[in-house]
Structure 1
């Protein structure tokens, strides 16, 4: 097996985030589930909610895109596959991810719908409530895959959010096949409990078929996937089904289980939680970067915690400091 040119290639939603502050009353009034993500199914619905937002900040996002951008900031070699439209937001996304040091060559899609956007409301406690119009991202075709690129990455990283639409689901299945034939690892993040409620059977089958090497989940997602009542039961059920299980637990830290060995670390202290958008994405970035460097579970988990702490200390889901300097200061 040849040495890969990339540490991680990710397939995910290509989204531009719009972040704004809101209080709990607004979240309740609009019928949102605080701290979760819901889909908007038309441009009109997205426009109506956008009109109700306070002053907003635009930043390129998308779960898997955030992860590879952060890995690049940590010194890793990454690429991203995701669909944008041939419009202004598409140009913004493409510029930002390339400027972050990530290879991105997916051709823009002409015509409607527009590039995806996520309207994010951040409450005073730092919790983010997301409302996503998937737009062009849900039309990523299998034909857009660069199979040589996927075979040339040590890890293929997939996000559960993109499993919803039919076209990208087929593209991701094809990418898994390419990665496995090339002897590469496949990492999958469950993304949100709503993804599990819609596609849990698919996810369980991927795991049962031995197609997932690294599974990322938060505590709620783990419990939902395992169909149990608590964290310990979820770990007990799922740990033996994937080679490497990684579960984040917010302030309680994170746990990884591999070959019957369980390792846990605490959360990295944060002076003030400003915005939890991207916390899981950045944790995955740190952990995968650690694994790509041959680090053990504990040090990889600690790197994930450092990255997550940086991202929740400010608005937006892309790092705002020199990540390599931060890691050197925190981990040596």
Structure 2
């Protein structure tokens, strides 16, 4: 089992890799939603209260944390001991980190309603992020842009909220960097954005080993953009659709991270790793970002696909059930306790 091998790697200690994460950032307020004294713990319960005509629900503030996909990625990588450079939208006093950062403008503001296994995000977008271009990245890095682009792995996040990313990736590819792994975790893209993403991924593949890290809904949007009739209903049976997306884009791999399993389509075939045997959910918001971070750094460290998927699953599951980003010691104990027999 790959989780036995993962425990062994964690016991020996990870060799750090250099990773860059960009371009978003947010400040996230988490809330429970109450109907009187009852905490609403699902979207269905929320919908029922609205349909039944409730005029007033109470927000109970839980915590304010740094957020955004790139921020989540960077926090996971730092916890694992990697060398991280976060280029995000971080202009706020509450967005300070123990690793290296550069800021390209104001963050988004996000209210997260904690609703069991399907949190609801209410987003106030950042005009700095929607107007972002490659020039902002270049200027923020002040002469270090080539070194940033040539880190062992780059995690490019939140395609859905950053209109400037297609043009920016064209600029990146034109610089012809000596690239490593380029992991794109796009967020909830529209049909047009999905088409742009596939074309951009093909351009980036000239300089990087490009991997698309998506959930099942995002994979289905990419499949539609590629002109495929098939769609994923069961992640366990997603290999053929993922391989068609991978072939259409000409990239190194396409990965689906789902609740029960992670599946990757690669040039050598399909790889599947079941998730850890865990129960209980604290929050799902940010778990996919931690999967992408751990998975990308593991590929960049030279791990095989199966072990890299196991690493991604473990970091995501720890965050979902514990509500905290795992370091290596946390992760070793967690995997030991929860790996399937």
TM-score (norm 1): 0.76
1:31-46 → structure 2 map (5 Å cutoff): none
Deviation at 1:295, TM superposition (A): 1.1
Deviation at 1:104, TM superposition (A): 0.3
Distance 1:331 1:272, change over 3 A: closer
1:140 aligns to what? 132
1:174 aligns to what? 171
CA distance in 1, matches of 2:133, 2:45: 37
1:1-332 → structure 2 map (5 Å cutoff): 7-22=18-33, 23=40, 24=43, 27-28=46-47, 53-85=59-91, 90-93=92-95, 95=96, 98-99=97-98, 101=99, 103-106=100-103, 109=105, 115-123=107-115, 125-135=116-126, 136-145=128-137, 146=141, 147-159=145-157, 161-167=158-164, 170-178=167-175, 180-192=176-188, 195-209=189-203, 211=205, 213-227=210-224, 228-230=230-232, 231-240=238-247, 241-251=250-260, 253-315=261-323, 319=325, 321=326, 323-329=327-333
CA distance in 2, matches of 1:154, 1:293: 8
Contact persistence 2:29–2:110 (CA under 8 A): yes
Deviation at 1:190, TM superposition (A): 2.4
Judge which range, 227-236 or 217-226, deviates more: 227-236
CA distance in 2, matches of 1:73, 1:198: 35
**Residues 262-313 of structure 1, C-alpha deviations (whole Å, 9 max, x = no match):** 2111111223112111111111122122122211111111111110111101
Larger radius of gyration: 2
Contact persistence 1:150–1:175 (CA under 8 A): no
Judge which range, 54-63 or 22-31, deviates more: 22-31
Q: Counterpart of 1:312 in 2: which secondary structure?
A: helix
How many correspondences in the alignment? 285
Distance 1:329 1:57, change over 3 A: closer
Distance 1:176 1:128, change over 3 A: farther
CA distance in 2, matches of 1:69, 1:15: 13
Q: Counterpart of 1:254 in 2: which secondary structure?
A: strand
Q: Counterpart of 1:91 in 2: which secondary structure?
A: coil
CA distance in 2, matches of 1:305, 1:243: 20
Contact persistence 2:29–2:61 (CA under 8 A): no
CA distance in 2, matches of 1:132, 1:77: 30
CA distance in 2, matches of 1:175, 1:207: 11
Contact persistence 1:19–1:119 (CA under 8 A): yes
CA distance in 2, matches of 1:57, 1:222: 32
RMSD: 2.8
CA distance in 1, matches of 2:174, 2:70: 19
CA distance in 1, matches of 2:239, 2:93: 44
Unaligned 5+ segments in structure 1 are: 32-50
2:12 aligns to what? none
Contact persistence 1:138–1:168 (CA under 8 A): no
Contact persistence 1:15–1:118 (CA under 8 A): yes
